[in-house]
Structure 1
Amino acid sequence: MSDTRTPAQIEADIISRRDQLAVVLDEIGVRVHPKTIMDDAKAKVAATVDRTAGRAFVAVNRTVSDVKAQFVAEDGSPRLERVIPAALVVAGAVALLTVSSRRKKR
């Protein structure tokens, strides 16, 4: 197969390929630069933290909703049959902690 290009076309192809190669080398230089590597690592860590925080928020929100459903009826009124015993347990725990801390101070 013979090349029918003129010397000017061959020279133009060489210049074009040289320019393409320069662009590729510049891109490689940017990719392997320590600042670029650090920025990429920081972005990955930030994305991981965001994902973890999002999952934690969803889990906490679900737990709060579940607990709320135990103490509030669907119409928004409190479920006294559950609120009163829970309030008594909390009051008892506070009383025990208060008595316990007073005994330790003496």
Structure 2
Amino acid sequence: MARVGKAGTEGKAARTTAQIEADIERTRKQLAVNLDELAMRVHPSTVAAQTKAKMLASVEQKAGRAYVAANGAVEQLKGHFTDANGRPRQERIVPAALVGVGVLLLIASARSRRKQG
């Protein structure tokens, strides 16, 4: 078998043709694997699945944050209308209920005027 060497490569043994051919074949196989991997990454179904997963994760994260914020608001509101023992505070509930009833009456009155007019 012929030995192939580079000019000026001192201290390195020259490689045989078989070694070079084996290196080329190894490189071809690795290139084929890389190309297959790239094809999978850019395939429309893969891209769609990744996009869907990212969007779902984003929605879940935002829903979680909204839940925590709403839960905090409910606890704050609950704390406003109950005492330290969890009993209702009449002095705060009654005025709030009256305001709520008043707002509902105003809305109902405005609707009935629109229907009449």
Does residue 24 (structure 1) correspond to residue 34 (structure 2)? The answer is yes
Residue 62 (1) aligns with residue 72 (2): yes
Task: Return the alpha-carbon distance in structure 2 between the equivalents of residues 73 and 82 of structure 1.
Answer: 11
2:97 corresponds to: 87
Aligned residues: 106
Give the root-mean-square deviation of aligned CA atoms.
Answer: 2.4
- Alpha carbons of 1:103 and 1:16: their partners in 2 closer, same or farther (altered >3 Å)? closer
CA 1:64 to 1:17, structure 2 compared with 1: closer, same or farther past 3 Å? Answer: same
Q: Percent same amino acid among aligned pairs?
A: 48
State the secondary structure of the residue aligned to 2:68.
helix
Q: Which runs of 5+ in 1 are unaligned?
A: none
1:83 Cα deviation (Å)?
Answer: 1.4
Shift of 1:7: 2.8
RCO (CA 8 Å, sep 6+): is it higher in 1 or 2? 2
TM-score (norm 1): 0.77
**Larger helix share, 1 or 2:** 1
Q: Deviations over 1:71-90 (max 9, x none)?
A: 01122111122112222333
Distance of 1:103 and 1:21 partners within structure 2: 77
Alignment CA distance shift 1:29-1:99 (3 Å): closer
Q: 1:26, CA displacement in angstroms? A: 0.4
The structure with the largest alpha-carbon Rg is 2
Distance 1:95 1:13 in 2: 87
